[in-house]
């Protein structure tokens, strides 16, 4: 990286902010990580498999990143991940709660969803996000500043059929976001959510939800890419959003008008 690019990184909107990103090893999470790093953030990247390749890419481009394997449904694993982040960078300023179950799910009527699958989706998508916030909040409250960005879904506004457990889990994320915002307001911690539309990432491939009607429902008649989400994530992790909390921002090309 050239000296001017390094200097630009230092002066980025997220310069010197330490940001934890879960589900960062691939797909949308990987794009989030690279986008945040491009704005100067120091990244702590977690995923079920150690996202070391993503961390190496960021560091090769002049950024700072660590990576850890982390099961977000395990409180002990999440605490260890946060402790490793603090040991490396000193603190945490923001969390992007991206890890979730989606592509592994097969759409079907809710009466055909097995109870074990329901529990697994809720454990990862809802309780996993809760565990990550719970582990990081003591740091944010101590420094009286921080950002939590939960990832919801545009499906909850549509009542999208065939994925009841997924839609319900993301509806719970919005509910948690609102309560967390109320409870952390006195500590100057912003808690917001992003609700992406159906996004074509490397993880989707030939997933059966990829269809023309999704695009046609939008004001912008095109496929949504992970890069379309990065600007909103950067904004919510930056000082520019310091007086915004408890909100859910739809980023779906105008499929849902909220």
Kindly state the DSSP code that residue 123 receives in the 8-state scheme: I
3-class secondary structure, 67? strand
> What was the pLDDT predicted at 10?
57
**CATH number assigned to the domain comprising residue 247:** 3.40.50.720
Structural domain contains residue 100: yes
**Residue 256 counted as domain residue:** no
Residue 19 lies in a domain: yes
Judge whether 257 lies within some domain. Answer: no
- One DSSP character per residue, 95-142 reads EEE-----TTPPP--GGGS-HHHHHHHHIIIIIHHHHHHHHHHHHHHH
Distances (CA, A) of 227 to 146, 196, 254: 24, 11, 16
Instruction: Say yes or no to pLDDT of 227 above 50.
Output: yes
Mean pLDDT score of the chain: 91
Instruction: Write down the pTM of the prediction.
Output: 0.91
Q: Domain for residue 137, yes or no?
A: yes
> Does some domain include residue 78?
yes
**Given this model, what pLDDT does residue 206 score?**
46
Where do we find the tokens 């850890």? 68
Asked whether residue 102 is domain-assigned, the answer is yes
pLDDT tens per residue across span 123-150: 999 999 999 999 999 999 999 999 999 9
Residue 207 has pLDDT above 70, yes or no: no
Number of domains within the chain = 1
Q: What is the C-alpha to C-alpha distance for residues 62 and 70, in angstroms, rounded to an integer?
A: 25
Instruction: Please tell me the least confidently modeled range out of 156-160, 190-194, 206-210.
Output: 206-210
pLDDT confidence of residue 252: 87
Q: Which structural domain range is residue 25 located in?
A: 3-251
Residue 1's pLDDT band, with cuts at 50, 70 and 90, is very low
- Separation in Å, CA 42 to CA 34, 66, 86, 126, 196: 10, 9, 11, 26, 24
Flag whether 258 is in a domain.
Answer: no
Residue tagged active-site, from 81, 89, 157, 166:
166
Say whether 32 is catalytic: no
């Amino acid at each position: 990286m050239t000296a001017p690019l390094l200097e630009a990184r230092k002066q980025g909107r997220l310069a010197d902010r330490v940001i934890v990103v879960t589900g960062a090893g691939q797909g949308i999470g990987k794009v989030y990580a690279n986008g945040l790093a491009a704005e100067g953030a120091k990244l702590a990247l977690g995923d079920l498999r150690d996202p070391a390749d993503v961390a190496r890419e960021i560091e090769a481009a002049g950024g700072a990143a660590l990576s850890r394997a982390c099961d977000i449904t395990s409180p002990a694993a999440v605490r260890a991940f946060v402790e490793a982040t603090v040991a490396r960078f000193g603190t945490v300023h923001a969390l992007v709660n991206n890890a979730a179950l989606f592509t592994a799910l097969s759409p079907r009527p809710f009466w055909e969803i097995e109870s074990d699958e329901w529990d697994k989706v809720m454990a990862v998508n809802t309780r996993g996000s809760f565990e990550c916030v719970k582990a990081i909040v003591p740091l944010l409250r101590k420094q009286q500043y921080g950002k939590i960005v939960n990832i919801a879904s545009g499906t909850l506004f549509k009542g999208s059929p065939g994925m009841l457990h997924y839609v319900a889990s993301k509806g719970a994320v919005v509910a948690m976001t609102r309560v967390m915002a109320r409870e952390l307001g006195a500590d100057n911690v912003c808690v917001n959510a992003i609700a992406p539309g159906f996004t074509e990432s490397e993880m989707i491939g030939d997933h059966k939800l990829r269809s023309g009607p999704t695009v046609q429902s939008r004001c912008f008649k095109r496929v949504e890419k992970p890069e379309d989400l990065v600007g909103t994530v950067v904004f919510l992790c930056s000082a520019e959003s310091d007086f915004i909390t408890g909100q859910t921002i739809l980023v779906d090309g105008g499929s849902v008008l909220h």
